[in-house]
Amino acid sequence: MKKTEISFELVRALTTKDKKYQLHPELFQDFISYLPSLDGLAEAIEDRSKRTDINRSLLTKVLKKQYAHTIHPAQEQAIEKLESDNGFTVITAHQPVLLTGPMYYISKILSTINLCQQLRALHPEDDFIPVFINGAEDHDFEEINHTNFFGHRIDWDRPSGGAVGRLDLAGISEVLGQFFEKLGTSPKAEYLQEIFQQAYDRATDYQTFVANYLNAMFGSYGVLVLSMDDPELKRHFIPVMEKELFSRPSEGLITAQQDRLEALGLKPQAFAREINLFYLTENSRERIIFQEGIFHINNTELSFSEHEMKEELHRYPDRFSPNVIIRPLYQEFILPNIAYIGGGGELAYWLERKTQFEHFGIFFPVLIRRNSLMLLTKGNCKVLDKLGLEIKELFQDEDALIQSFLAKNTSVELNIDKEMEMLLKPFESLTEKAHGIDVTLVPYIESERVKLEKVLEQIEGRLIRSLKKQEETRVQQISNLKQKLFPNHGLQERSDNFFQYWIHEEENLIDSLIPELDPLNRSFLVFRLD
């Protein structure tokens, strides 16, 4: 498996903020506590080790409860290590997207495993546990109810409502049927089918189904899959939720940070509300709105006085659910964490959070960009080599790539800059003469120059179109390759499911990628699988 590193600057689908943070994190020092580097991590470990504000006994109790039915020995050891003051976590998180959804879902986990391995080697006196937070409280069903597998969209068709993790498994058997059909009948396909079928058979709700297959795939690496939708964890989080409900500091703090980021030319990422908590019922997850001394639950008849709301929070903390503004506080309040690994969009909203964390007295971790990657199949590589293209060239705009290819593969000089310069040069002297004879002729001369320039551009365009027609087969091969690797002009990792690549590799692609997916590597990674 050959790796090529591409600068983030060349990846057109990435945002300006994402590129800036990845390539120049020092520009964001006012918005982070530590640089995303080994030195920054060492500083975070030292600072975190001085704090004793994590309830480790509660954390390990909840983890043991969530792993009561099945656990890998490596996960048992991980939980034991969390009981010790020198056991730290590295977190990544995601919504429970259907069948792991787009490829970056898996690469996040692999990046987290890699970083923990690095830290163990560098800091043998401490231990580092990879934690995947299964974001099962999310209620945006449309974001999690599908995946793309071998170009085929698989949908989970069912009514939605409330936290997606609490949904029953109605319709999942049909989803698995479509998935298994696309997998085929190879030994690897049968192995994967067994993992997902057992995950389904042993679950009664969606979050458990997801946790089951993630544990089956990553338990041997010591990854702990944690559901934060837990009554005991939320009870412990009551002081923060109470402050958010009754003092409501987050909106102002985050808006101020967003204003500072906008001054640097960076747009706000998340919308902070006056209250950044939802109210959970069996079939709904609705915003809490405070108006004229009364707490209202949006889209319901429920309302509470301040006294009643405080009583509700203390009696039923599991009915309260953090939104994207409070969720980072929740996970860092519960876990002895030193680093969060996330995508560009996630880190964009974390960059708005530092003063909020300081206000609540919660440790603000190192923010590390997950690896972005592209996988080239044997078929992709064959086309690439046949066309004589370099991997770096693929990151050009398609038209630019085709013109570059045609220029390299024809004896005719396509560029007419020389002819353009030669034919337009006389207009400079004509303009000078007009200034000396009749200045009113200058606009006329300029308009004629523009007309000629357009004619020359049209000739150049016709030459290129004619050559494209002659090279129609290879031009189409380039277009097809670009579409496969950059679906709809986006990134492969945001569209394709990881397992469509895993299933065709003789070796375990997970084992092969873990050593390569170092999240401190600031390049976009391309792997040839030929």
- Examine the domain organization and report whether 388 and 522 are in the same domain: no
Q: Is residue 393 part of a domain?
A: yes
- Examine the domain organization and report whether 503 and 437 are in the same domain: no
CB 110 within 8 A of CB 508: no
Residue 394 structural domain = 376-492
- Examine the domain organization and report whether 401 and 515 are in the same domain: no
Q: Is residue 525 part of a domain?
A: yes
What pLDDT does residue 411 have? 58
Q: Is the dihedral of CA 202, 206, 211, 213 positive or negative?
A: positive
Rounded-to-integer distance, Cα 510 and Cα 517, Å: 10
Q: Is residue 304 part of a domain?
A: no
Sheet holding 320-322, edge to edge: 303-305, 294-297, 285-291, 277-280, 320-322
Q: Which residue has the tokens 């394709």?
A: 496
Describe the crossing of helices 206-218 and 104-122 by its angle, rounded to 10 degrees: 50
Q: Which residue has the tokens 């429970």?
A: 96
**10-residue mean pLDDT series, the chain (530 residues):** 96 95 96 98 97 96 96 98 97 98 98 98 98 94 96 95 95 97 94 98 97 98 97 98 98 96 90 96 93 96 97 98 97 98 96 98 98 97 95 94 83 68 87 89 90 84 74 87 95 97 92 98 96
- Examine the domain organization and report whether 188 and 254 are in the same domain: yes
- Examine the domain organization and report whether 196 and 218 are in the same domain: yes
- Examine the domain organization and report whether 264 and 234 are in the same domain: yes
To the nearest 10°, report the CA torsion of 263, 269, 274, 279.
-170
Q: Is 527 left (phi over 0), alpha (psi -120 to 50) or beta?
A: beta
Q: Is residue 281 part of a domain?
A: no
- Examine the domain organization and report whether 475 and 515 are in the same domain: no
Number of domains comprising the chain:
2
Q: Is residue 60 part of a domain?
A: no
Q: Is residue 344 part of a domain?
A: yes
Q: Is residue 165 part of a domain?
A: yes
Rounded-to-integer distance, Cα 256 and Cα 263, Å: 11
Rounded-to-integer distance, Cα 266 and Cα 182, Å: 42
Strand partners, 6: 524
Angle of CA points 104, 110, 116, to nearest 5°: 140
Rounded-to-integer distance, Cα 31 and Cα 257, Å: 8
Alpha helices in 98-205 (DSSP H): 104-122, 141-144, 172-183, 187-201
Terminal Cα-to-Cα distance of the chain (whole angstroms): 7
Q: b/e per residue, 376-387, with b = 16+ CB within 10 A?
A: bbeebeebbeeb
- Examine the domain organization and report whether 408 and 513 are in the same domain: no
Q: Which amino acid is at 86?
A: N
CB 376 within 8 A of CB 530: yes
CB 320 within 8 A of CB 234: yes
Rounded-to-integer distance, Cα 268 and Cα 76, Å: 41
CB 503 within 8 A of CB 352: no
- Examine the domain organization and report whether 24 and 140 are in the same domain: yes
- Examine the domain organization and report whether 244 and 390 are in the same domain: no
Rounded-to-integer distance, Cα 117 and Cα 109, Å: 13
Q: b/e per residue, 393-416, with b = 16+ CB within 10 A?
A: bbbbebeebbbebbeeeeeeeeee
What pLDDT does residue 415 have? 67
What pLDDT does residue 412 have? 62
- CA nearest to 506, candidates 186, 184, 221: 186
Rounded-to-integer distance, Cα 528 and Cα 374, Å: 9
Q: Is residue 151 part of a domain?
A: yes
- Examine the domain organization and report whether 41 and 137 are in the same domain: yes
Token representation of residue 173: 């058997």
Describe the crossing of helices 238-246 and 306-315 by its angle, rounded to 10 degrees: 160
Rounded-to-integer distance, Cα 31 and Cα 460, Å: 49
| pTM for the predicted model, two decimal places | 0.90
Angle of CA points 104, 487, 195, to nearest 5°: 40
Q: Is 349 helix (H, G, I), strand (E, B) or coil?
A: helix
Query: Given 3-state DSSP classes, what are the helix, strand and coil percentages for the chain, each rounded to the nearest 5?
Result: 55, 15, 30
- Examine the domain organization and report whether 35 and 104 are in the same domain: yes
DSSP 8-state code for residue 26: G
